Amino acid sequence: MLKVENTCLGAGFRIKWGFILLIALFLQGCLDKEQKVKYKIGFSQCTTADAWRKAMDEEMKREISFNPEIQLITRDAENSSQKQNEQIKELLDEDIDLLIVSPNQAKPITPIIEKVYKEGIPVIVIDRKTSSSFYTAYVGADNYEIGKIAGKYVGEMLKGAGKIIEIRGLEGSSPAIERSRGFSESLKEFPNVEIVQKVYGQWEIDTVKQIFPKVIEGIKEADLIFAHNDIMGFGAYEVCKNLGLEENFYFVGIDGLSGPNAGLQFVSDGILDATFLYPTGGKKAIDLALDILNNQPVPKENILQTTIIDQNNIKVMKQQTDKIISQQKDIEKQEEMYRNQLEMYKNQKVLMYILLISFSISLIFGGYILYSLKEKQEINNVLQSKNREILQQRNQIEIIAQKAEEATQAKFKFFTNISHEFRTPLTLILASVEELQDLTKTYSKQLKKDFDLIQSNASRLLRLVNQLMDFRKIEHNKMKVLASPNNLVQFIKDIMAEFEIIASKKKIDFRLIKNVSHLEVWIDIGMFDKILFNLLSNAFKFTPKGGFINIGIESKVLENKVVLSIEDNGRGMSPNHVEHAFDRFYQGENYETFGTGLGLSLSRELIKLHHGEISVQSEKGKGSRFEITFPLGKNHFTSAELREENINKLDPSEFKYFLDSTNLVSLKENSSTPSKSNPSTLLIIEDNHELRELLAQKLGECYNIEEAANGKIGLDKAFDKVPDLIICDIMLPELNGLSITETLKNDLRTSHIPIMLLTAKTSDEQQIEGIQSGADAYITKPFKFRYLFEKIKSLLKNRQQLKERFSHELPIHKLPRSENKIDKKFLNDFIVKIEENIGDPSVGVNEIAQELGLSRVQLYRKVKALLGVGVNEYIKTIRLKKAKQLIQENDLTIAEIAHKVGFSTPAYFSTAFKAKYDVSPTEYSKQH
Ligand code: FRU
């Protein structure tokens, strides 16, 4: 699906960019079209230094501006014919379509103009002429004619007699030649009019101003100064004026140009007496050029009209020209406006194009977006249906996974339950075997061997079951470290002691090599016990007779760690075994070598919990070396993982299942077995028939036994018999062990009885629950009878010590300390009752029992259990102690005291007193 979308997007981008390119080209095309030049006109101007030339240029430009497709390229030759030649060549190089030229001088320019003309480029000659007729058209006034009119005019002005100074234009330029010729020609009609001096002013005011003072100096008499143009005439006037001679001469010029500092103004100001109009022809030249370029036929000679301007018509002329000037200005303004409009129009056109393009792009993109949306919608639909499918599949997988999880859990539960179930029969097997071993000591060696075999295999089975259960705990993160400070050296020594017998039997050199004599480490003693028993069991299993097993303790304080090693020279492992030594359930090449592989794997997990690691080096046939490294100190544990008190001494129940074989001694053979003369009564509440019987049988050797097969019967029997100790399973039909404990501990009649809970469950929580219910001890199955027996003994002994303490702690007001609140209260009430009735000999067991809400037997048992004496005996003891006190304190007679402490006769009092304190009350009174 994604691939499809990418392709669509790729195509989209291509279309988009292609389109934008097209639009850009189109726009470019439009703008190009706007600016495209259709014709280029080259204009070679001889000079642009004077107003007349400027007026010509202006006219041309104005005219050309109406034709934007035509470009006018102007070159200024600056009065140099050579430069004009070069410039014309340059214009040719620029591919001009037509040449307008106003030659500086005729001759020097003629060849290049002929060349241009012959190349087929139309040539318009303006104002000044060439020497040939190779040009397309000529524009200008007839200079010869102007010269003639001027001659005639001045002749008449001078009334047929006078002297003239002629200031000529540039030599070699056609107007200078023609004007001069026409002038002289005309003067022929006035024989008394003479040109006395010809001055070469080169059309320029500056030249005239420079040379004219000398000219004036030389000529003493002249009447009129005729200049070929107005500006030279003005120059002469200025010179004369400076000399104060301006009134001496008439001044006549040519051009009649309008505007300031030009002919018309000079006439109007009285500087010039007359001028002759010489139009620039700029407009005409452009009109002709356009016609020529548009292939229109044009006349070759385009002669412009001239006229005389003097004081007679200057006003009208000036008005007209001023009007023309103002109109021209208007035109220029309009032209400017037109240009602005045009510019605006161009901009608007571009804007319109842009808008059009944007609109088109929007349309296309809109279409494209709609198309994409549609396509996206389709893709989405497909994706959604795929999602639904995936969701369904996921749900199915979840259901399957859940079922699988349930099945696994069920399996594990079954597995755990089975393991639990295994423990009790295994305990029974082991116990029976112990018994049989005892009984058959004298029997044949073979029988003993068989029993040993049964025992070692049952132990092994038990060990495996326990290991499996540990794994289960590790898997469920329920295996928690509880590290406490221990002397590692002593700990190892204790464990080594367990293996001494087998070491000596197998003649194995079994040593501890250490670099410290005492090393405090923080370890979970139960876990380390398992680890070491496992490693040592393996070492002993695989080390042949006469071999060695070394345990090493190396403290590396600088590295803050300790290395514990177990090295043997036993069977060793192949490299493949070594690689998998710590893999769970790895069995090696044959079962013999490694067993189920559980032990090492479990050890590794337990070491990991200590933030340590285990490694092995081994060589087949040479032996193995296991190395455990773990940190010193306790910083690597969380506070919940620490148990501050030292428990260096192992509780045997913690390592019970690692021991392969232990020779249990018959209880009877033990020197500390309690005497059977006054046996205590034990109540065994256990639903497992075999275990109950076995316990009854074994413990029956030393105690009176009461049995109960379920919780309810157990509870009844407890109340009925008030035994000295109760052994009670937790998991019981009818009523569980915890409830039984709670009930008994909260009942005055039974609260003093020590209760020992017995169960297969080993979790900490259950132990805590058991203790919370008030149980005095908690023993997990499987257990060793020796341990159970010792525990019973110690509980009974504690009870006995308590009793002794209680009875010794009398006199009366000093109440004995009791663990149980109910017992404490009972003792308190009991003693108060005795004290209250101390003087009443009739108050005995029955009365007090009644007042305390107990039966006579219950009171008797309770008092016996707590204080170790009978009720009557206790009352008697209190009475005698009170009497003793009274003898010391008062002056009462013996008879009075006997009466006060509740003895019916003084004689009985004396006998009892003497029996208790080995002295008669009278003697005692005398002594004190
Ligand atoms: C300007 C000018 C005019 C004259 C013309 C002759 O440069 O000198 O005054 O009439 O040229 O070519």
Query: What is the residue-wise DSSP string for 725-741?
Result: EEEEESS-SSS-HHHHH
Q: Mean pLDDT over residues 850-879, rounded?
A: 81
Q: Does the pLDDT of residue 642 top 90, yes or no? A: no
Residue nearest to atom 7 of ligand 1 (CA): 53
Same domain, 695 and 757: yes
Q: Alpha-carbon distance 384 to 386, whole Å?
A: 5
Q: Mean pLDDT over residues 343-356, rounded?
A: 91
Q: Phi and psi for 299 in degrees, rounded to 5? A: -70, 145
With respect to residue 406, please indicate whether it lies within any of the assigned structural domains: no
Same domain, 599 and 673: no
More confident of the two residues 804 and 485: 485
Asked whether 204 lines ligand 1 (CB < 6 A), one says: no
CA 845 → CA 834, 855, 858, 873, 885, distances in Å? Answer: 10, 9, 11, 10, 24
Q: Alpha-carbon distance 674 to 619, whole Å?
A: 54
| The pLDDT value given to residue 659 | 31
CA 468 → CA 303, 417, 532, 585, 819, distances in Å? Answer: 132, 12, 17, 11, 39
Tell me how far the alpha carbon of residue 203 lies from the centroid of ligand 1, in angstroms: 6
Asked whether 53 lines ligand 1 (CB < 6 A), one says: yes
Tell me how far the alpha carbon of residue 282 lies from the centroid of ligand 1, in angstroms: 13
Last residue of a domain, one of 770, 803, 836: 803
Asked whether 234 lines ligand 1 (CB < 6 A), one says: no
Neighbours of 845 (CB within 10 A): 18
Q: Does the pLDDT of residue 344 top 80, yes or no? A: yes
Contact 170, 334 (CB under 8 A): no
Asked whether 235 lines ligand 1 (CB < 6 A), one says: no
3-class secondary-structure state, position 847: helix
Q: Alpha-carbon distance 375 to 209, whole Å?
A: 91
For the chain, how are helix, strand and coil distributed in percent, rounded to 5? 55, 15, 30
More confident of the two residues 904 and 281: 281
Residue nearest to atom 11 of ligand 1 (CA): 203
Same domain, 500 and 642: yes
Tokens standing for 388? 């639904």
Residue nearest to atom 8 of ligand 1 (CA): 203
Contact 685, 695 (CB under 8 A): no
Q: Does the pLDDT of residue 16 top 50, yes or no? A: yes
With respect to residue 894, please indicate whether it lies within any of the assigned structural domains: yes
| The pLDDT value given to residue 617 | 94
Same domain, 764 and 892: no
Asked whether 179 lines ligand 1 (CB < 6 A), one says: no
Tell me how far the alpha carbon of residue 206 lies from the centroid of ligand 1, in angstroms: 14
Closest ligand 1 atom number to CA of residue 229: 9
Closest ligand 1 atom number to CA of residue 127: 12
Quick one: CA torsion of 280, 284, 288, 294, rounded to 10 degrees? 130
Residue ranges of the alpha helices (H) in 66-171?
81-93, 106-118, 143-157
Q: Does the pLDDT of residue 913 top 50, yes or no? A: yes
What are the residues whose beta carbons fall under 8 Å from the beta carbon of 68, sequence distance 6 or more?
Answer: 342
Closest ligand 1 atom number to CA of residue 173: 12
| The pLDDT value given to residue 200 | 95
Answer whether the bond into residue 297 is a cis peptide, omega within 30°. no
* Residue of 170, 203, 252 best suited for mutating to test ligand 1, as the one with most atoms within 8 Å of CB: 203
DSSP string, 47-82: --SSHHHHHHHHHHHHHHHT-TTEEEEEEE-TT-HH
In this structure, of 181-185, 519-523, 575-579, 806-810, the range with the lowest mean pLDDT score is 806-810
Taking alpha carbons only, the member of 863, 893, 858 closest to residue 878 is 863
pTM summary value: 0.42
With respect to residue 66, please indicate whether it lies within any of the assigned structural domains: no
Same domain, 539 and 570: yes
Tell me how far the alpha carbon of residue 283 lies from the centroid of ligand 1, in angstroms: 17
Tell me how far the alpha carbon of residue 313 lies from the centroid of ligand 1, in angstroms: 23
More confident of the two residues 571 and 302: 302
Q: Does the pLDDT of residue 868 top 80, yes or no? A: no
Which tens digits make up the pLDDT trace of 679-726? 789 999 998 887 888 888 888 888 999 999 999 999 999 988 889 899
Which tens digits make up the pLDDT trace of 416-463? 666 766 766 776 777 677 667 666 666 666 677 677 777 777 777 777
Q: Mean pLDDT over residues 180-204, rounded?
A: 96
With respect to residue 438, please indicate whether it lies within any of the assigned structural domains: no
Q: Mean pLDDT over residues 759-770, rounded?
A: 61
Asked whether 128 lines ligand 1 (CB < 6 A), one says: yes
With respect to residue 60, please indicate whether it lies within any of the assigned structural domains: no
Q: Phi and psi for 644 in degrees, rounded to 5? A: -65, -35
Sheet harboring 623-631: ordered strands across? Answer: 509-514, 548-556, 561-568, 623-631, 613-619
| The pLDDT value given to residue 670 | 39
Beta bridge partners of 46: none
3-state secondary structure 452-491: HHHHHHHHHHHHHHHHHHHHHHHHCCCCCCCEEEEEHHHH
Q: Mean pLDDT over residues 466-488, rounded?
A: 80
Same domain, 153 and 267: yes
In this structure, of 67-71, 277-281, 451-455, the range with the lowest mean pLDDT score is 451-455
* Residue of 84, 278, 304 best suited for mutating to test ligand 1, as the one with most atoms within 8 Å of CB: 278
Q: Alpha-carbon distance 322 to 259, whole Å?
A: 8
Sheet harboring 250-255: ordered strands across? Answer: 192-200, 161-168, 224-227, 250-255, 274-277, 308-310
Asked whether 706 lines ligand 1 (CB < 6 A), one says: no
Taking alpha carbons only, the member of 153, 130, 128, 131 closest to residue 139 is 128
More confident of the two residues 209 and 825: 209
Asked whether 178 lines ligand 1 (CB < 6 A), one says: no
With respect to residue 17, please indicate whether it lies within any of the assigned structural domains: no
Q: Mean pLDDT over residues 309-318, rounded?
A: 93
Q: Does the pLDDT of residue 674 top 60, yes or no? A: no
Our measurement of the distance from residue 707's CA atom to the centroid of its chain's CA atoms, rounded to an integer in Å, reads 69
Domain with 180, as residue range(s), is 144-279+305-310
Tell me how far the alpha carbon of residue 39 lies from the centroid of ligand 1, in angstroms: 28
Tokens standing for 686? 């256990």
Closest ligand 1 atom number to CA of residue 254: 10
Our measurement of the distance from residue 903's CA atom to the centroid of its chain's CA atoms, rounded to an integer in Å, reads 93
Same domain, 641 and 714: no
> How many domains, in total, are found in the chain?
4
Rounded to the nearest 10 degrees, the angle between the axes of helix 205-218 and helix 230-243 is 50
For residue 883, the surrounding DSSP H or E stretch is: helix 871-889
| The pLDDT value given to residue 492 | 92
Tell me how far the alpha carbon of residue 179 lies from the centroid of ligand 1, in angstroms: 11
Q: Mean pLDDT over residues 284-298, rounded?
A: 96
* Residue of 228, 232, 277, 280 best suited for mutating to test ligand 1, as the one with most atoms within 8 Å of CB: 228
CATH code of the domain in which 892 resides: 1.10.10.60
Tell me how far the alpha carbon of residue 182 lies from the centroid of ligand 1, in angstroms: 16
Asked whether 203 lines ligand 1 (CB < 6 A), one says: yes
Strands 39-45 and 725-729: unpaired
Q: Alpha-carbon distance 614 to 31, whole Å?
A: 86
Extended strands (E) in 719-873: 725-729, 755-759, 777-780
Q: Mean pLDDT over residues 244-273, rounded?
A: 95
Q: Mean pLDDT over residues 72-101, rounded?
A: 96
Q: Does the pLDDT of residue 641 top 60, yes or no? A: yes
What are the residues whose beta carbons fall under 8 Å from the beta carbon of 795, sequence distance 6 or more?
Answer: 725, 754, 756, 776, 777
Q: Does the pLDDT of residue 785 top 70, yes or no? A: yes
| The pLDDT value given to residue 636 | 93
Taking alpha carbons only, the member of 653, 548, 529 closest to residue 599 is 529
Q: Does the pLDDT of residue 655 top 80, yes or no? A: no
CATH code of the domain in which 548 resides: 3.30.565.10
Taking alpha carbons only, the member of 210, 102, 226, 93 closest to residue 152 is 226
Asked whether 169 lines ligand 1 (CB < 6 A), one says: yes
| The pLDDT value given to residue 478 | 73
Asked whether 784 lines ligand 1 (CB < 6 A), one says: no
Residue nearest to atom 2 of ligand 1 (CA): 203
* Residue of 84, 178, 206, 229 best suited for mutating to test ligand 1, as the one with most atoms within 8 Å of CB: 229
Highest mean pLDDT among 221-225, 324-328, 690-694, 754-758: 221-225
| The pLDDT value given to residue 853 | 81
Asked whether 57 lines ligand 1 (CB < 6 A), one says: no
Closest ligand 1 atom number to CA of residue 232: 9
Q: Does the pLDDT of residue 671 top 70, yes or no? A: no
* Residue of 44, 48, 52, 104 best suited for mutating to test ligand 1, as the one with most atoms within 8 Å of CB: 52
Tell me how far the alpha carbon of residue 229 lies from the centroid of ligand 1, in angstroms: 6
Closest ligand 1 atom number to CA of residue 176: 6
Which tens digits make up the pLDDT trace of 791-812? 898 888 877 766 665 554 444 4
With respect to residue 232, please indicate whether it lies within any of the assigned structural domains: yes
With respect to residue 619, please indicate whether it lies within any of the assigned structural domains: yes
Last residue of a domain, one of 647, 678, 704: 647
Q: Mean pLDDT over residues 339-348, rounded?
A: 89
Closest ligand 1 atom number to CA of residue 169: 8
Tell me how far the alpha carbon of residue 63 lies from the centroid of ligand 1, in angstroms: 21
For residue 277, the surrounding DSSP H or E stretch is: strand 274-277
Closest ligand 1 atom number to CA of residue 257: 9
Q: Alpha-carbon distance 383 to 239, whole Å?
A: 104
| The pLDDT value given to residue 665 | 32
| The pLDDT value given to residue 648 | 38
Q: Alpha-carbon distance 486 to 518, whole Å?
A: 10
CA angle in degrees (0–180, nearest 5) for 600-605-607: 90
Tell me how far the alpha carbon of residue 734 lies from the centroid of ligand 1, in angstroms: 146
Tell me how far the alpha carbon of residue 322 lies from the centroid of ligand 1, in angstroms: 21
Tell me how far the alpha carbon of residue 256 lies from the centroid of ligand 1, in angstroms: 11
Extended strands (E) in 515-621: 520-523, 548-556, 561-568, 613-619
Residue nearest to atom 6 of ligand 1 (CA): 175
| The pLDDT value given to residue 437 | 67
Contact 225, 162 (CB under 8 A): no
Taking alpha carbons only, the member of 589, 775, 566 closest to residue 685 is 775
Q: List, as own/partner pairs, every contact residues 375-384 make where C-beta atoms lie below 8 angstroms and the sequence separation is at least 24, other chains included.
A: 375/5, 375/8, 376/5, 379/1, 379/4, 379/5, 382/1, 383/1
Tell me how far the alpha carbon of residue 228 lies from the centroid of ligand 1, in angstroms: 8
Same domain, 209 and 275: yes
Q: Band of the pLDDT at 272, cuts 50, 70, 90?
A: very high
Q: Mean pLDDT over residues 740-747, rounded?
A: 89
Which tens digits make up the pLDDT trace of 592-613? 444 445 788 889 989 999 999 9
Taking alpha carbons only, the member of 15, 21, 9, 34 closest to residue 357 is 21
Tell me how far the alpha carbon of residue 55 lies from the centroid of ligand 1, in angstroms: 11
Q: What sign does the dihedral 147-149-153-155 (CA atoms) show? A: positive
Q: Band of the pLDDT at 862, cuts 50, 70, 90?
A: confident
Q: How many residues does the chain have?
A: 928
Which tens digits make up the pLDDT trace of 38-65? 999 999 999 999 999 999 999 999 899 8
Closest ligand 1 atom number to CA of residue 47: 7
| The pLDDT value given to residue 5 | 43
Our measurement of the distance from residue 184's CA atom to the centroid of its chain's CA atoms, rounded to an integer in Å, reads 107
Tell me how far the alpha carbon of residue 167 lies from the centroid of ligand 1, in angstroms: 13
| The pLDDT value given to residue 846 | 82
Tokens standing for 50? 């004077």
In this structure, of 509-513, 529-533, 924-928, the range with the lowest mean pLDDT score is 924-928
Asked whether 175 lines ligand 1 (CB < 6 A), one says: yes
Mean pLDDT over the full length of the chain: 83
Tokens standing for 342? 């045009």
Residue nearest to atom 9 of ligand 1 (CA): 229
| The pLDDT value given to residue 179 | 97
| The pLDDT value given to residue 809 | 44
Same domain, 501 and 620: yes
In this structure, of 21-25, 89-93, 447-451, 847-851, the range with the lowest mean pLDDT score is 21-25
Tell me how far the alpha carbon of residue 235 lies from the centroid of ligand 1, in angstroms: 14
Q: Does the pLDDT of residue 66 top 80, yes or no? A: yes
If 0-12 CB within 10 Å is exposed, 13-18 middle and 19+ buried, where does residue 764 land? Answer: exposed
Q: Band of the pLDDT at 819, cuts 50, 70, 90?
A: low
Same domain, 637 and 711: no
Same domain, 775 and 863: no
CATH code of the domain in which 695 resides: 3.40.50.2300
The identity of residue 588, as a single letter, is G
Q: Does the pLDDT of residue 817 top 80, yes or no? A: no
More confident of the two residues 779 and 820: 779
Answer whether the bond into residue 68 is a cis peptide, omega within 30°. no
Same domain, 737 and 601: no
| The pLDDT value given to residue 896 | 86
Asked whether 254 lines ligand 1 (CB < 6 A), one says: yes
Q: Band of the pLDDT at 586, cuts 50, 70, 90?
A: low
